[in-house]
Amino acid sequence: MNAAARRPRRTPGKAKFAPEFYLNRELGLLSFNRRVLAQAENRAHPLLERLRFLCIVSSNLDEFFEIRVAGLQAEIEAGSVPVYPDQLRPEQVYKQVAAEARELVARQYELLNKEVLPGLEQAGIRFLRRSEFTSQQAEWMKGYFLREVMPVLTPIGLDPAHPFPRVLNKSLNFAVELEGKDAFGRNSGIAIVQAPRVLPRVIRLPQDVAGAEYDFVFLSSILHEHVNELFSGMKVLGCYQFRLTRNSDLFVDEEEVKDLRTALRGELPHRHFGDEVRLEVADNCSQHISNYLLMQFKLDEADLYRVDGPVNLARVISVPDWVDRPDLKFPQFRPGLPRRLENVADLFGVIRNSDVLLHHPYQSFQPVIAFLHQAARDPAVAAIKMTVYRTGTESELMEQLINAARSGKEVTVVLELMARFDEEANINWAQQLEEVGAHVVYGVVGHKTHAKMLMVLRREGEGLRRYIHLSTGNYHHRTARLYTDFGLFTCNEEIGNDVAEVFMQLTGLGRATKLRHLRQAPFTLHKEMIRAIENETAIARAGRKGQIIAKMNSLLETEVVGALYEASKAGVQIDLVVRGVCALRAGVPGLSENIRVISVIGRFLEHTRVFYFHNDGAEDVYLSSADWMDRNFFGRVEICFPVLDSDLKQRVIAEGLRPYLDDNTQAWTMGDDGQYVCRAPGRAKPVSAQEQLLALLAVKIDV
């Protein structure tokens, strides 16, 4: 049985309004990817960035099929009834998803072939087709094939002794039609060639061979050109790329296993061989071969996607990094620093004086690394505690934790093993930390630890002082250059007590106690957000100003949507900046006419979660690791923390909210039909939130 079908999940709260006032999650995700694709369509963007956006769409769609579509298929197989407030049956959603995804993919490859690749070629960056090879290039590529490719290939001729091979998830494969008999007199007519993952999918030609600085060729082109070398004495009738997407949602029964890390390590290899979900083939693939492949994978025609180009376009995303052409990329910048952190050796001293706010990627992530580095080598530091969700295979932060443990400090890491697609990296870090004596715990059974917390305990004066870093984003130095997030350093004693209590819950046993400032999932976050929304509703009904501004990745939780509808009906002015999927339908007369939903898509991935409630002029501002989704409220350990410093509160409003409400170049506004329309400045001055923040906080690099 499919993992998604076995996984228990919380039934959404009861919807108070008719199904047509709730938008479907899967269709919302596709709508988000259409907005990402629009960045590739934008001719004002540099060409290599447009190529990067095309690859991002492919990567997003891979995960969409691996997780969301796989879940839909499992629900259809299980005969599930509608449980979500939109009341669409799984088969209805799947039919719409298949149609919209097909249109999206077709447009993606149309852009690739008609605009992006021709534009890059004019700029001196070519992806060579076989028909374009010069004799010198053809000779070099044949040598490359014989030397680097052919030795690691294992062509499999299909017959009773050689059944259809197991195909790895998202791997590049070729179906080869053959004519003739081999050395043993066999003639099956078809063979499968799997491209090992050790082979690069894009090869840069040497400049003396290419005649230009940036000439590339796809591995598929080289293999197509020389596939006959694999089948001596036989005639190749056709060679067709294909790629299979499988269900990649891992299932580990955390309540049954005694060692989660061991169980997860055993489960990871199965991700490559989960249930079949989607088959991609090159558009020149014969109907005979595509039908044969569908039969082998037990898929239907609706699961087949024909593409006019490489089936693994996501693997091209490295090319912009290989090309040194600043004129074809977004302008470079150096992340800035708050003035108080410039040329500072003692971060602890700065944080003791007042809270420090960092706004990534416009401001540097380096102070977070420096903070942990200073803690690791400071003899006054007694203990370090940190949560880790995603940190990458290479992480200076994790290295500093290892150094701290080696130096005898008490290091505790709450490491989430079930962070999707980062499980293996996290397992490896867990092992390295344990080897140097750090305490590694995996959070709470049944609840992913998604909170972002770092606590340093330092001996000062007569006791220990807690230094805290809280964040909306992961402790990941690379994504800190690509994702927008806020991070807060504080010495506030009450917040420190709250953070210490959350760590005690995660590592020990005992009932949850009342926290002074933090809102925590799965205990208080949901009800406190509902309470804050209802407070604005009561204020508006009393004739005073009610206002809510909330920025997040996704908004899906039914009760929150209902509370926002009631607030709108009472006259509360509500602005929702939701990057991805939003279940709420904005602008419906009599229901949500006071709600505006905006999605901003640009150079950086919008990742900050900011919640603003006017509260009769008190202006409550919270930052959070959590979106307004069922899983964040009820299935994860999350934190939501207030910005108490009045100056920093105004900074969050001025940087994290206002620019997005004013954006008229990269913002999309939802209509009352649930569809998004890109804003245009018209005669007004163009405003881009991301460009505005770059100019305000970052340092431009002249090249």
Q: Which residues contact 16 (CB under 8 A, 6 or more apart)?
A: 562, 565
| Selection from 111, 121, 118, 99 nearest residue 36 by Cα | 111
- Position 273 scores a pLDDT of 56
In this structure, what are the phi and psi dihedrals at residue 77, rounded to the nearest 5 degrees?
-60, -35
- How far apart, in whole angstroms, are the C-alpha atoms of residue 213 and residue 195? 27
Beta strands in 36-144 (DSSP E): 125-127
Q: What CA–CA distance (Å, rounded) separates 190 from 163? A: 11
pLDDT digits (tens, 9 = 90+) for 178-221: 988 766 666 668 999 999 989 999 999 999 998 889 999 999 99
Paired tokens of 654: 């001025």
Distance CA(306)–CA(164), nearest Å, equals 21
Q: Which of 36-45, 151-160, 454-463 has the lowest mean pLDDT?
A: 151-160
Cα separation, 397 vs 382, in Å, equals 18
Q: Tell me the pLDDT band of 8, cut-offs 50, 70 and 90.
A: very low
Quick check: 256 pLDDT over 50? no
Instruction: Give the pLDDT of residue 542.
Output: 98
Q: What band does 160 get if pLDDT is binned at 50, 70 and 90? A: low
- The token duo for 381 is 């530091």
Query: What beta strand segments (E) does 523-682 contain?
Result: 547-552, 573-578, 595-600, 605-606, 610-613, 620-624, 636-642, 667-670, 676-678
Residue 252: what pLDDT?
44
The per-residue pLDDT for range 527-562, each reduced to its tens digit, is 999 999 999 999 999 999 999 999 999 999 999 999
- Name the residue among 99, 68, 63, 100 with its Cα closest to residue 84: 68
Question: Selecting from 2.60.120.590, 1.10.3720.10, 1.10.1060.10, 3.30.870.10, what CATH number does the domain 334-514 have?
Answer: 3.30.870.10
- Look at residue 258 in the predicted model and tell me its pLDDT: 42
Q: Which residue has the higher pLDDT, 344 or 563?
A: 563
- pLDDT surpasses 80 at 223: yes
Active site residue 450: yes
Query: Measured between alpha carbons, how far is 422 from 233 in angstroms, rounded to an integer?
Result: 46
Average pLDDT rounded to a whole number, residues 84-100 = 94
pLDDT of residue 316: 95
Report how far residue 226's alpha carbon sits from residue 220's, in angstroms, rounded to the nearest whole number.
10
Catalytic residue among 45, 360, 450, 607: 450
With bands split at pLDDT 50, 70 and 90, how would you rate the model's confidence at 224? very high
Q: With a cut of 90, say whether residue 422 has pLDDT above it.
A: no
Higher local confidence (pLDDT), 188 or 128: 128
CA separation for the pair 221, 310 (Å, rounded): 9
What is the predicted pLDDT for the residue at 455? Answer: 98
- Residue 607 identity (one-letter amino acid): H
Q: At 282, which helix (H) or strand (E)?
A: strand 276-282
Task: Give the H/E segment covering residue 131.
Answer: none
pLDDT one-digit tens code per residue, 457-502: 999 988 999 999 999 999 988 899 999 999 999 999 999 999 999 9
* DSSP single-letter state for residue 582: B
Q: Is the pLDDT of residue 75 over 70?
A: yes
pLDDT at 702: 67
CA-CA distance, 109 to 92, in Å (whole number)? 26
H-helix or E-strand containing 203? strand 202-204
Most confident of 41-55, 163-177, 190-204: 41-55
Q: Is the pLDDT of residue 105 over 70?
A: yes
Alpha-carbon span 522 to 366, nearest angstrom: 31
Q: Determine contact, residues 386/452, Cβ cutoff 8 Å.
A: no
Predicted confidence at residue 263, as pLDDT, reads 47
CA-CA distance, 66 to 278, in Å (whole number)? 9
Identify the DSSP state of 579. Answer: S
Helix axes 135-144, 219-226, angle to 10 degrees: 90
Query: Comparing C-alpha atoms, which of 492, 485, 671, 649 is closest to residue 584?
Result: 671
Give, as one character, the DSSP assignment of residue 436: T
User: How many other CB atoms are there within 10 angstroms of residue 119's CB atom?
Assistant: 17
Q: What are phi and psi of 253, to 5 degrees?
A: -75, 95
Q: Which of 208, 54, 66, 205 is nearest to 141 (CA)?
A: 205
Q: φ, ψ for residue 651 (rounded to 5)?
A: -60, -45
What digits encode the pLDDT tens for the residues 301-315? 999 999 999 999 999
Taking residue 266's Cβ as centre, other Cβ atoms within 10 Å add up to 12
Rounded to the nearest integer, the mean pLDDT of the chain is 91
Strands (E), 40-111: none
**How sure is the predictor about 423, in pLDDT bands with cuts at 50, 70 and 90?**
low
CATH code, residues 520-700: 3.30.870.10
Helix (H) or strand (E) holding 111: helix 90-111
Q: Domain segments of the chain: what residues? A: 3-328, 334-514, 520-700
DSSP string, 386-402: EEES---SS-HHHHHHH
The Cα 578–Cα 587 span in angstroms is 15
* Alpha-helical segments (H) within 147-302: 207-210, 219-226, 260-267, 287-297
**pLDDT of amino acid 351:** 97
What is the C-alpha separation between 648 and 639, in angstroms, rounded? 19
- Check if the beta carbon of residue 455 is closer than 8 Å to that of residue 354: no
Separation between Cα atoms, residue 638 and residue 106, nearest integer Å: 39
- Are 301 and 316 in contact by the 8 Å Cβ rule? The answer is no
Contact between 643 and 649 under an 8 Å Cβ cutoff? The reply is yes
- Taking residues 592-616, report their average pLDDT: 98
Can you give the pLDDT at residue 186? 64
| Domains 334-514 and 520-700 equal at CATH topology level | yes
Contacts of 212 (CB under 8 A, 6+ apart): 124, 126
Q: Which helix (H) or strand (E) holds 348?
A: helix 347-353
205, two tokens: 């030609």
pLDDT at 309: 94
Q: How far apart are CA 330 and CA 343, in angstroms?
A: 29
Residue 551 near residue 584 (C-beta atoms within 8 A)? no
d(CA 574, CA 309): 44
Q: Is the predicted pLDDT of residue 255 greater than 80, yes or no?
A: no
Residue 536 per-residue DSSP state: H
Cβ burial, residue 89 (10 Å; 0-12/13-18/19+): middle
- Is the pLDDT assigned to residue 574 strictly greater than 50? yes
Q: Check whether 588 has a pLDDT greater than 80.
A: yes
Span 325-375, pLDDT tens digits: 999 999 999 999 999 999 888 999 999 999 999 999 999 999 999 999 999
CATH of 3-328, picked from 3.90.1150.10, 3.30.70.1520, 3.40.50.300, 3.30.1840.10, is 3.30.1840.10
Q: How many CA atoms lie within 13 A of 172 on its CB side?
A: 25
Cross-strand partners of 458: 381, 465
